[in-house]
């Protein structure tokens, strides 16, 4: 192989692309949800919400993981899901990447948080009766009862199995909403 062909192969190699991506600031990658592999899932979530009679379309932003800021009706989605190359790097680094099924489960869960915050449902007396006090301290660790039938079983969390709804009343609501949706 001639030097020019080797150079072209190196330029187009995954190692080179990976190196360039890992050495570029995230803000300089031009990442957008619109037109990305993630957009169809968000569109599906919007259709599911509408099919349940909910005229609610939460806003989304790119971040380093799934989540809703406390009491803010906006959904953070992992930036690597909007670019197949970044998703490949994530999978190489962590050994896993969200499946289509898991993406929808997480979107429904986070939509539960967003609608709870948007309408301040947690302030309703019935909410506290069903899920517990929203002001209960949120702890990073908890001791779930894997045999409990008082909570829905939805998202599989590595540390806690399908008991994430037991973590906090806010998580109980989000998990219940996701299953209902």
Tell me what pLDDT residue 171 has: 86
Residue 140 CA, chain-centre distance (Å), reads 17
Tell me what pLDDT residue 147 has: 62
- The size of the chain, in residues, is 181
Tell me what pLDDT residue 68 has: 95
| Phi, then psi, of 67 in degrees rounded to 5 | 165, 170
Tell me what pLDDT residue 6 has: 53
Tell me what pLDDT residue 69 has: 94
pTM score: 0.87
Copy the structure tokens of residue 175. 């998990």
Contact yes or no for 48/181 (Cβ under 8 A): yes
Contact yes or no for 87/80 (Cβ under 8 A): yes
What whole-number distance in Å separates Cα of residue 34 and Cα of residue 10?
31
Tell me what pLDDT residue 138 has: 79
Contact yes or no for 145/151 (Cβ under 8 A): no
Contact yes or no for 104/45 (Cβ under 8 A): yes
User: Where in the chain are the domains?
Assistant: 1-30, 31-180
Strand, coil or helix: what is 161?
strand
Tell me what pLDDT residue 73 has: 97
Tell me what pLDDT residue 146 has: 65
Terminal alpha carbon distance of the chain: 57
In DSSP notation, 57-99 reads: --EEEEESSSB--TT--EEEEEGGGG-HHHHHHHHHHHS----
Sequential pLDDT tens for the chain (181 residues): 555 555 555 567 989 999 999 999 999 999 999 999 999 999 999 999 999 999 999 999 999 999 999 999 999 999 999 999 999 999 999 999 999 999 999 999 999 999 999 999 999 999 999 998 999 887 777 776 666 666 666 676 656 666 776 778 888 899 899 999 9
Copy the structure tokens of residue 66. 């799934």
Kindly give the interhelix angle for 84-94 and 14-22, rounded to the nearest 10 degrees: 90
H/E run at residue 179: helix 169-180
């Amino acid at each position: 192989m001639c030097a020019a062909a080797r150079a072209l192969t190196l330029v187009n190699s995954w190692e080179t692309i990976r190196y360039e991506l890992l050495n570029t600031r995230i803000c300089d990658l031009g990442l957008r949800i619109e037109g990305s592999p993630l957009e169809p899932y968000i569109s599906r979530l919007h259709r599911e919400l509408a099919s349940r009679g909910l005229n609610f379309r939460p806003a989304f932003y790119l971040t380093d993981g799934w989540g809703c800021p406390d009491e803010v009706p906006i959904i953070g989605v992992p930036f690597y899901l909007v670019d197949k190359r970044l998703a490949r790097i994530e999978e190489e680094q962590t050994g896993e990447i969200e499946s289509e099924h898991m993406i929808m489960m997480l979107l429904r869960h986070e939509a539960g948080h967003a609608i709870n915050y948007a309408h301040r449902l947690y302030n309703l007396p019935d909410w506290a009766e069903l899920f517990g006090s929203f002001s209960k301290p949120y702890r990073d660790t908890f001791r779930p009862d894997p045999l409990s039938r008082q909570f829905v079983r939805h998202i599989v969390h590595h540390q806690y199995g399908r008991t994430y709804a037991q973590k906090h009343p806010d998580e109980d609501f989000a998990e219940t909403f996701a299953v209902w949706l």
